[in-house]
Chains A and B, each alone.
Chain A
Amino acid sequence: MDSPLHRRHAAGKAIAGLGMLICIASLGRPAWRAAGAYLLLLAAGTAAAKLPVPRILLGGAVVLPFAAGIAVIAAVSGDSERAAMVLVRAYLSSLTTLLLVASTPLPELLAGLEKLGAPEFLLQVMQFVYRYLMVLREEAGAMRDAAASRAGTVRVLEFRKAAGAAGVLFARAHNRAQAIHRAMVARGFEGRMPALRQLPFRMPDAVFAAGTLAVAVAVRAVLA
């Protein structure tokens, strides 16, 4: 995927994203004009990233079920403005994160975070988690389907079977980690993972980050 937003440096996008998140989080009540402005800004960013705007806007709503519970409590306590603003902040924050990740492949994002000072060890672990996430989920799914096709009748037995399946998954994961390590050593690994690939941080990236921050702060100051 390629677009003006995809081409921006991950560190610049992370800074811009963080700035947006902080401004959104600081919205008190009521701040409808600011919220609307942020929504427009994020929609524009989505379009610039050549991503489908309705799908992304809908994607941000994933967080709403969590937010809804607290919003309902606030509404019932008579504080309907707080309820609405919680939903709005949660949605806009989720949308910001979604746009950041949709326009930046994870390995690039991790490299960008390293440039901003995140610990390398943690980022390397995250890289491996990401690589083997779907592989292990597939293995677990296969186990779950196999167990389902042999439906147990006694509840205690099923519980123990599930524990057995989890144990097997654990052992397989361990064996896979050993196989990976062996493959790494066979290819010359001596204790130092290759550094995360850094791309150069250029003027357009700086302009993008600074510009987004400026707009986000301006909206906060003027419209909220």
Chain B
Amino acid sequence: MHIPDGFLSSRVWAPLDAVAAPAVAWLGRRAQRGFDHHKIPLMGVMGAFIFAVQMINFPVGSGTSGHLVGGALLSFTLGPAAAAIVMTSILAIQALIFQDGGLLALGANVINMAIAGVLAGYLPFVLLRGSRAGVFLGGVLSLMTSAALALGELSLSGVPMPRPVLVVSAGLFVVSALVEGAITVAVVGALEKIQPGFLRTPAASGGPAAVALGAAAVVLGGAGVFAASERPDGIESLARTAGIWSRAGSLVQTPLADYRLGVGSLAGTWAGRTVAGLLGILAVYVICRAAARILGMRKGAGAAE
């Protein structure tokens, strides 16, 4: 998923570098947060851990093995800001020493994997209060988000993506995401046995979670729309292939059908689609909160705070 140099057009890599740089600086200050440099050895060694854990094979069937990417796991154990900095340092080392990912493309890769990926992994964990479902979804969404953004950026740069390629890539990404979710759950389980203190207990959603959600919603919404807008045939054919399209159309006449707001001048524009996407994410958020509250009430006094 690391994009090498030479693939992205300058109108893609340059603005992403321009956004990533201050974002990383800000995240660095947040990760430091009064600890000065005391956390540096921990973050550095955890970065080395991520490199090392890639060597462990997780058999997933018929002779194939998966590996842990680890962005979500880092966010559950170090917190999202520190996890983002650790992932950024890993991506930079990978680009420099292993030529895995480009240097001009580093901004894009950092946004995809260290920022959006980590945030998308952390959110379900927080919203679902550190439950197994939250851990699993965290692993899944962190990978899906990184992949969607990468595809979107390549697509915007003019890399041709015919339908079969899109379908195969999407399929591969879904499989890797599910594997990441499963591995993350298993490793979190192992950690809980070794030392429960490794994992953060997500506090009742407050300011930080809301901010994180807001940022993630924007990123995910934008990513989803990037991917959808440039190659609408690809996504629609994917859906058609899955047989969802025709069924959905006949079942529900959704107000956001075709991601077009029926509002005059906005209809069909990029902005219109983005707003529709964001509203969709907001709807998912409301549903998640409701579900979490219901689950929280069922768990009763034992719910982690």
**A180–B45 touching, CB < 8 Å:** yes
Q: Which residue of B lies closest to A148 (CB)?
A: B57
Most buried by A among B6, B96, B160: B6
**Interface bin, chain A:** 35 or more
How long is the Cα–Cα vector from A170 to B86 in the complex, in angstroms?
14
Residues in A with CB closer than 8 Å to B245 are none
CB pair B104–A93 under 8 Å, yes or no, is yes
> Contacting chain B: which of A40-48, A118-126, A216-224?
A118-126
Known contacts A163-B58, A169-B52; is A176 also within 8 Å of B40 by CB? no
**Alpha-carbon separation in the docked complex, A176 to B193 (Å):** 19
Contacting pair B88 A122 (CB below 8 A): yes
Contact of B38 among A70, A106, A168, A181 (CB under 8 A): A181
A129 interfacial contact with B, CB 8 Å: yes
Cross-chain contact B52 with A140 (CB below 8 angstroms): yes
Residue of A90, A133, A168 with most chain B CB atoms under a 10 A cut-off = A133
> In the complex the two chains form, is A124's CB within 8 Å of B40's CB?
yes
Lowest 6 CB-CB distances: which A-B pairs, in order?
A: A128-B44, A89-B6, A167-B190, A93-B5, A163-B186, A191-B36
Would you list 29 pairs from A and B whose C-beta atoms are within 8 A, ordered by A residue?
Answer: A21-B102, A62-B98, A86-B6, A93-B102, A94-B99, A106-B96, A121-B31, A126-B89, A128-B47, A128-B48, A129-B51, A129-B86, A129-B93, A131-B48, A133-B48, A133-B52, A136-B51, A137-B48, A155-B61, A159-B186, A165-B56, A167-B194, A169-B52, A169-B56, A170-B194, A174-B45, A177-B46, A180-B45, A189-B37
Task: Please give the residue numbers on chain B whose beta carbons come within 8 Å of chain A beta carbons, in ascending order.
Answer: 2, 4-8, 10, 13, 24-25, 28-29, 31-32, 35-38, 40-49, 51-53, 55-61, 68, 77, 85-86, 88-90, 92-93, 95-99, 102-104, 154, 159-162, 165, 183, 186-187, 189-191, 193-195, 198
